[in-house]
Structure 1
Amino acid sequence: MKKSALLTMAVLAWMCTVAVQAQIERPRLVVGIVVDQMRWDYLYTYYNKWEQGGFRRLMDQGFSLDNTLIDYVPTVTAAGHASIYTGTTPAFHGIAGNDYMLHGRPTSSVRDTTVAGVGTDSSAGKRSPRNLLATTIGDQMKLATDFQARVVGVAIKDRAAVLPAGHAADGAYWLDGKAKRFVSSTYYRDALPRWVSRFNDEHQDLLAGDLWNSWRGATATMQLAAAAIDGELLGRDEVPDLLTISISSTDAAAHNYCLHVPRVDSIYYELDRQLALFFDLLDRKVGEGEYLVFLTADHGGTYTEPFMTGHRVVTGTWNPSQAFKDTNAALEARFGVPKLLKSEMEFSFYLDNELIAARGLDRDAVAAEAVRLLSVPDEVQWVVDFAHLDRYVLPAELRERLVKGYNQDRSGELFIIPTVGVYARYRPDAGANHGTWSQSDSHIPLVMMGWGVPHGSSSRQVAMTDIAPTVCAMLRIQAPNGCIGHAVTEIVDYSTNR
């Protein structure tokens, strides 16, 4: 009798669990769209020029968080994509920049020499998320669904496809610029799926053009994303899937030209058209109201010096590579040892600590002299030595961003904070840039639309790191393991109480 009673209780408990699970409502598909270097104000700058079905549909039907800030420095692509999907910052997820020093050697955020390319024989295929130290939204979806959720990432930039998709993704696909094809790596699978190969074959004319600096990049990326909907059968059942999309050409064109020039404008207009087509596809394939979309940016951007000075707006530039050379030369003159600075990457300067120790020099003396040399009036406001951050009188907001952006194993010991309005320029003909804490670089759009999202807007300050916990809360799953953000209550409370 006891065994029978225990069996009955177990069956009842299982039935109750199934019943509870059946009552949990979730979107069938989550789509994350990152528009590289899209400033927040673009939502309104372009609003009257957009058509009804793309950006305007997001704005008119969705919820816009108009005061979303990046809560760390440097504000660059790899760190931004990682932070959006992990809900944490470089201090924890480890992506200290697009490039950084790892084990004493320079590396890129997604470079992995242990894997081979898929769809390419070139080094462009040697990519994986192994440098990412935290889990992502997609990883948590996999864990919560016993790995039944499908997770796919697409972008022109490798880091913009790999980092958002996460560790457990079914695939990430990026452009091999020389081969003019979308490729992947053996980290995910041994051969391209048929739908990617077919896309490459059927869009040779499109892929042969300039995808980096023209509207073609937005077209190719969004059409590859559309192909993934059918190719991976995304959003076709009750198990939620994730598709991550990043538009890279908006960043490349702005870097090579400027903000709001016709070439850059044309990319946003084409992206608007492609978004309208994509949302219509989701309505038909997944079902209107059955999917959740969020659109944001990895960072903003700054107008060029010629443009600003031409309109009498205070600005300036600072050349990191020249500062690196000049400082190394001055350090050699002072200490008699060449190359005491090992590298310079995205506002970070790395001391060669092994060389300093081998030559019997005092590390703090070398660092202090480097700080003095790098502190150029009118260009650099602060040079911070992270070994002695407590000695600096800094605004609390800036200090917090520095701490969140510093990874002790991967960031440079010295960090440059340019004077307000000054941006880094590596060559005289460079276009827009980013990387600082300023509003132009750190104020990003965040619009959510679809399943469980009310219509409206809020000017309450939220952070880039709030995106992941918000999406996970709506999915009723655990946030990524390094998450420090907070769910946006204006959206989550509505989705849970509707």
Structure 2
Amino acid sequence: MKSFLIFFFFSISLLSQQDDNKISSDVKLVVGIVVDQMKYEYIPKFWNKYGEHGFKRLINNGFLAKNAHYSYARTSTGLGHATIVTGTTPSYHGIVGNDWYNPAQGKEIYCVDDNNVDPVGTTNKIGKKSPKNLLTTTVSDENRISSNFRAKTLSVSLKDRAAILSGGHTSNQTFWFSEKEGIFVSSSYYMEKLPDWLIEFNSKKNIHNYIDFWDTYYDIDNYIESGPDLNNYEGKFLNKKQSIFPYDLKKLSKNRDGSTDYNAIKYSPYGNEILKDLALKAIIEEELGSDDITDFVHIGFSSPDYIGHKFGSNSKEVQDTYIRLDRTIEEILNFLDKEIGLNNYVIYLSADHGITHSPDFLADNKIPINKILSSKVFPPQLNQYIKNISNYNIFLDKDKIVNMKEDIDDIKIKITNLLLSEPWIYDVYDFTNFKYFETKSSDNYSLNMLLNNSHPKYRGDLAFFVNPFWVKQSSSTSNHGTPTTYDTHVPIIFYGKNIKKGVSYNKLNVKDIAPTLATILGINFPILTTGKIIVDAIK
């Protein structure tokens, strides 16, 4: 009888421990990797050029969502990073564009500008930044709150908006790149001065190591997945006569006055290398993931976006960037295995948006794409009643309409009818008519994409949806910012502790990342989460 009781209580204790393991988290470090402009297609397209220990390791031993999308219209950097970490859309987190019109202030604002903070590590305005415009918490905010602020958060990117919005409100250290000075900087929102290890990292001797000779990783003749190196679509790079390999960045980065053009880092794969080295150094110096309290590291790889804009999504330069990024990810994984422990961390990888092909490339290959040469289509007698057009929203000057004794509804009808006569307009919606929304929005893709992009504080009076075969003329070779699947379709990858190996073909939403992470960690969801848990990704 005694032996039975001992066995019984031992069994109960063991089951209790198993239940505890399912409830609590023993993840030491979460590493978020967001690749700027990485459309999903780059995974299968370049698969045969990837090694076995980068993207393939993440996918073959982790969870891949093959059909993940953004669900709003303005697919750009600020919104994407905010959506990933908040678990909701711009209609709640408030980052409705990289820039947008603020009706209360009567002016355009940049998503992370903050004149109430001071630059740190620089005297330039690029240091006057904070997450003050982010209107919800993030998953790493909730992680810090849950740990009674013993957990730590680090966020790094070349772009200020990528680093700041990913890091959330409570990031301990957030750093971004000042291209004028060739250094990483921050603001007084986060700290009074840069840590000593970053000051050392910022030395010219170190930074200039990332301005190197750029040739293809493999023989360029093997890059059959992309277009010819010499073509008529690519933009000029650092005054090089032709945008073809190789690129002597040390030579090309030298200005006439002897100074250095640090765009050589941004517009090359070495921008990914410098961020990787910065993040890994920070993990060591700040002892992230060194105890039983879960820490977060956010890495925003910005160079793929700069390269994609400059050379186009079908370029040899983009293909080589992803082949090299694959090796960069392998280095990150090897580092985490050694320093954090093979089964002690979680990685998620996604993108802030995709990318559309060069319009000229598409047109030359019989895709009937057209360029919107100008959106200034309103005659003076109607244009005088429009205050601003921003992120598909039209803001009316209601005071002027009243003072001129015009009828607001009549002005809206005139604007709507004129827009609908333009070939690039799909439809126009009255954002003040909520009865219309109730009857029209349930299965209306275009209206829902616009509504999800629209926060009540920044909502216009009218909004328009652009026909998919029309794109805004731009100085960039390839661009994004549209609600088409070129720009909405991105990868979601989970890898590591408590992640179930598998693949999903179901349509998932990028806002599902944050609640999935929160569930794995056993913490609160960000406060206005509208995403769902990706149950198939969790053990």
Report the TM-score, using the length of structure 1 for normalisation. 0.89
Match of 1:149 in 2: 151
User: Matched residue pairs, number?
Assistant: 466
Please say if residues 159 and 302 of structure 2, whose CA atoms lie closer than 8 Å, have aligned partners that are also in contact.
Answer: yes
2 CA distance for matches of 1:152 and 1:354? 46
The reply on whether 1:303 has 2:357 as its aligned counterpart is yes
Q: Which residue of 2 aligns with 1:8?
A: none
Say which SS state the counterpart of residue 394 (structure 2) adopts: strand
**Cα distance change, pair 341–454 in 1 and its aligned pair in 2 (3 A):** same
1:100 is aligned to 2:146: no
Which residue of 178, 181, 185 corresponds with 1:179?
Answer: 181
> How far has the Cα of 1:362 moved from its partner?
2.6
Q: 1:224 to 1:339 in 2, by over 3 A?
A: farther
Distance (whole Å) between structure 2 residues aligned to residue 225 and residue 348 of structure 1: 38
Out of 323, 330, 336, the position equivalent to 1:276 is 330
Q: Aligned pair 1:424/2:464, yes or no? A: no
Q: Structure 1 residues 120, 376: CA separation in 2 closer, same or farther (over 3 Å shift)?
A: farther
Distance in 1 between residues matched to 2:351 and 2:153, nearest whole Å: 20
Counterpart of 1:226 in structure 2 is: 280
State which of 202, 225, 238 in structure 1 corresponds to 2:292: 238
- Structure 1 residues 355 and 140: CA distance shift in structure 2, 3 A: same
Q: Is the 8 A contact 1:100 1:411 kept in 2?
A: no
Partner of 1:204: 207
Alpha-carbon offset, residue 421 of structure 1: 2.8
User: Is the aligned partner of 1:326 residue 2:361?
Assistant: no
Any idea what SS the aligned residue of 1:214 has?
Answer: coil
Aligned residue identity for 2:150: Q
- Residue aligning to 1:384: 429
The AA in structure 1 aligned to 2:30 is V
After the TM superposition, which residues 402-481 of structure 1 pair with which residues of structure 2 at under 5 Å, given as runs?
A: 402-425=450-473, 427=474, 429-481=475-527
Corresponding letter in the other structure for 2:467: T
> 1:349, CA displacement in angstroms?
2.9
Letter of the 1:187 counterpart: Y
- Greater CA drift, 244-253 or 149-158: 244-253
Q: Cα RMSD over matched residues? A: 2.2
AA aligned opposite 1:476:
G
Deviation, 1:384, is: 2.2
Cα shift at 1:391:
4.2
The reply on whether 1:344 has 2:392 as its aligned counterpart is: no
Aligned pairs (5 A) from 1:36-51 = 36-51=36-51
Higher helix share: 1
When structure 1 is superposed on structure 2, of 207-216 and 274-283 the one drifting more is 207-216
Check the 8 A contact 2:156/2:175 in 1, yes or no.
yes
Change beyond 3 A, Cα 1:59–1:21: closer
For residues 458 and 150 of structure 1, what CA distance do their matches in structure 2 show?
Answer: 32
C-alpha separation in 2, matches of 1:296 and 1:306: 28
Q: Per the alignment, do residues 252 and 372 of structure 1 end up closer, same or farther by CA in structure 2, a change over 3 Å counting?
A: farther
Task: Say if 1:417 and 1:436, in contact at 8 Å, map to a contact too.
Answer: no
1:67 paired with 2:115, answer no
The residue that corresponds to 1:373 in the other structure is 418
Counterparts of 2:422 and 2:101 in 1: how far apart (Å)? Answer: 28
Rounded Cα–Cα distance in structure 2 between residues aligned with 1:160 and 1:357: 41
Following the alignment from structure 1 to structure 2, what is the Cα–Cα distance between the partners of residues 305 and 111?
A: 32
The change in CA–CA distance for 1:454 and 1:164 in structure 2 (over 3 A counts) is same
Q: Which amino acid aligns with 1:176?
A: S
Going from structure 1 to structure 2, the CA distance change for 1:210 and 1:368 (only over 3 Å counts) comes to farther
Cα distance in structure 1, aligned partners of 2:266 and 2:388: 28
> Quick one: distance in 2 between partners of 1:474 and 1:168?
20
Q: Secondary structure at the match of 1:106?
A: strand
Aligned amino acid, residue 405 of structure 1:
N
Code of the aligned partner of 1:490: D
Residues of 1 paired with 2:296 and 2:497: CA distance?
14
Deviations 1:287-313 (A, max 9, x none): 112110010011111112111111112
Specify the alignment match of 2:216 in structure 1.
none
* Map of 1:361 onto structure 2: 406
2:370 aligned partner: 316
8 Å Cα contact 2:25-2:520 kept in structure 1: no
Does the alignment pair 1:287 with 2:341? yes
Kept in 2, the 8 Å contact 1:26–1:474? The answer is: no
Cα pair 1:346 1:435 within 8 Å, conserved = no
Give TM-score scaled by structure 2 length: 0.82
* Alignment-mate amino acid for residue 243 of structure 1: V
Structure 2: state its 5+ residue gaps: 1-15, 212-261
Identity across the alignment (%): 31
Note closer, same or farther for the CA distance 1:339–1:225 as it changes in structure 2 (3 Å cut): farther
Q: Is 2:531 the counterpart of 1:482?
A: no
The 5 A counterparts of 1:11-90 are 24-90=24-90
Report the Cα offset of residue 389 of structure 1.
6.0
Matches of 2:458 and 2:65, distance apart in 1: 32
The one-character-per-residue Cα deviations of 1:138-196 (angstroms, maximum 9, x if unpaired) are: 10001100001110110011100000100011011111111111100000011011222
